[in-house]
Amino acid sequence: MSNPSWKRLAHAAALRAERALDAARRRLPARPTDLHIHPYIGHGNAESVVLRGRVLADPPPDPDAPDGHAVRRAWRTFRRFASRELPGVELTVSLDGDRVTVVTDQEGYYEARLPATPGGVRRFGTASSAGHSVEVEAVVPDAATGSVLVVSDIDDTVLETGAQRAWDVARATIFGTYRTRTPVPAMAEFYRGLVRGPDGEMENTTFYVSSSPWNLYDFLATFLEFRGLPHGPLFLRDLGIDKSRFIASGHATHKRAAIDEILTMHAAHRALLVGDTGQRDPEIYAEVAREQPERIAAIYLRDVAGAERDAEVNEIGRELAGIGVPLVRSRSAVAFAEHALTLGLIAPDDAAAVARAVEAAPN
């Protein structure tokens, strides 16, 4: 039997198993107190806002619980991935006095779109169901002329994962906590400078686009805050099995869709695309730049791969230079800050702070 046939059979079996497990979980008795609304940071423009989240029967693991033994940390990670989603839950989502009713899908996700009131960069509302209510938040970028959107990868861009080594990634994910995971040196200082802008008074927005699963949302959001990285929406992906593939959305498909949504929603802004050379960021970003070169201020790629990959990325950089989109590949945030300074995206003091942070970082 051919490999494709084996893959089809394995996929079909996995899909049946996942659906059977989901059905068994839903038959478990649920009390009103078992409903937990997990809102994700939304985003929008002067006309509309999109708010997403998920409804689960389990609260997220407490990120501030004592780290404890490795077994306890592994159990905490297991709980994140063994979430018990609640489909068919009716929610009322409100923002700026407007409200909409939505129903969660088969994986417990909801999406609400509401009109937005112009002005301000952070908006707050509520999501409620069955007597439960939580605060929701949306980031509405300021429309100041010349401002940029920072669209950033997470793994090996701001968070060290060693994504080229599968076991290192698995071990860090299973046993790590937001306190123990290592940030990429000086990227927090670099991003904070980009958010402030060249005059130190702008409020540019950072969007985090990652192939990590939504199950890690709370962990990643806490890590970003703990390490001083700018507040902003996260675009993660669903790792559930759908009718056509093991993972509901592929790495490139997910990232491209998220970037397209950001650029479409915030059409008045250019974007700075930041990632790494380890996976497909160079190709995904280049595809976006070819289609909309006027929207991309620059592409910054942290160098985490070998010489063969470097040559591939350099070739992409030469091509993009021909359409006016600079690509900078470097192991250090200093090169990114220096280039951003030439583009007028960051203040000299902030660029200097990046250099000091790199010098102070442990080797």
d(C-alpha 349, C-alpha 199), whole Å: 10
The pLDDT value given to residue 306: 92
Asked whether residue 343 falls in the same domain as residue 270, the answer is yes
Asked whether residue 89 falls in the same domain as residue 110, the answer is yes
CATH number of the structural domain spanning residue 61:
2.60.40.10
The pLDDT value given to residue 149: 96
Residue 151 has pLDDT above 80, yes or no: yes
Classify residue 159 by its DSSP letter.
Answer: B
Asked whether residue 185 falls in the same domain as residue 111, the answer is no
Please report which confidence band the pLDDT of residue 176 belongs to, taking 50, 70 and 90 as the band edges: low
d(C-alpha 116, C-alpha 360), whole Å: 43
Which run of H or E residues covers position 186? none
Asked whether residue 264 falls in the same domain as residue 301, the answer is yes
CA distances from 305 to 126, 151, 184, 311 (A): 43, 21, 15, 10
Whole-structure pTM value: 0.85
On average, the pLDDT of the chain sits at: 85
Asked whether residue 209 falls in the same domain as residue 236, the answer is yes
Please report which confidence band the pLDDT of residue 318 belongs to, taking 50, 70 and 90 as the band edges: very high
The whole domain housing 97 covers 32-139
* Residue 70: closest CA among 178, 181, 185, 176: 176
d(C-alpha 358, C-alpha 350), whole Å: 13
The pLDDT value given to residue 20: 47
Please report which confidence band the pLDDT of residue 347 belongs to, taking 50, 70 and 90 as the band edges: very high
Please report which confidence band the pLDDT of residue 345 belongs to, taking 50, 70 and 90 as the band edges: very high
Per the structure block, which two tokens stand in for 113? 């779109």
Q: Calculate the CA 91 to chain-centre distance.
A: 24
Please report which confidence band the pLDDT of residue 361 belongs to, taking 50, 70 and 90 as the band edges: very high
| 215-266 per-position pLDDT tens digit | 999 999 999 999 999 999 999 998 764 444 334 557 799 999 999 999 999 9
Name every residue whose Cβ is closer than 8 Å to that of residue 236 and which is 6 or more positions away in sequence. 210, 211, 212, 213, 214, 216, 217, 220
Per the structure block, which two tokens stand in for 41? 């940071």
Asked whether residue 11 falls in the same domain as residue 87, the answer is no
Asked whether residue 245 falls in the same domain as residue 117, the answer is no
| 27-64 per-position pLDDT tens digit | 444 444 589 999 999 999 989 999 999 999 987 776 66
* Residue 357: closest CA among 158, 147, 152, 201: 158
Asked whether residue 130 falls in the same domain as residue 200, the answer is no
The pLDDT value given to residue 244: 43
Residue 24 has pLDDT above 90, yes or no: no
In the predicted model, what is the mean pLDDT of residues 177-183? 84
Which run of H or E residues covers position 257? helix 251-265
* Residue 123: closest CA among 55, 230, 47: 47
The pLDDT value given to residue 88: 96
| 94-131 per-position pLDDT tens digit | 998 899 999 999 999 999 999 987 777 888 999 999 88
Of 87, 110, 139, the one marking the end of a domain is 139
Name every residue whose Cβ is closer than 8 Å to that of residue 10 and which is 6 or more positions away in sequence. none
Asked whether residue 68 falls in the same domain as residue 189, the answer is no
Please report which confidence band the pLDDT of residue 348 belongs to, taking 50, 70 and 90 as the band edges: very high
Between 196 and 173, residue with greater pLDDT:
196
Of 139, 158, 185, the one marking the end of a domain is 139
The pLDDT value given to residue 363: 73
CA distances from 337 to 6, 284, 316, 328 (A): 49, 22, 21, 10
Residue 296 has pLDDT above 50, yes or no: yes
Asked whether residue 77 falls in the same domain as residue 6, the answer is no
* Residue 41: closest CA among 280, 163, 205, 187: 205
Asked whether residue 90 falls in the same domain as residue 204, the answer is no
| 55-93 per-position pLDDT tens digit | 999 877 766 666 666 666 666 666 666 778 999 999 999
Written as one letter, the residue type at 304 is V
CATH number of the structural domain spanning residue 257:
3.40.50.1000
Q: Answer whether 289's CB lies under 8 Å from 320's CB.
A: yes
Q: Number of folded domains in the chain? A: 3
Asked whether residue 90 falls in the same domain as residue 161, the answer is no
The pLDDT value given to residue 141: 87
In the predicted model, what is the mean pLDDT of residues 278-296? 97
d(C-alpha 232, C-alpha 36), whole Å: 22
Residue 19 has pLDDT above 80, yes or no: no
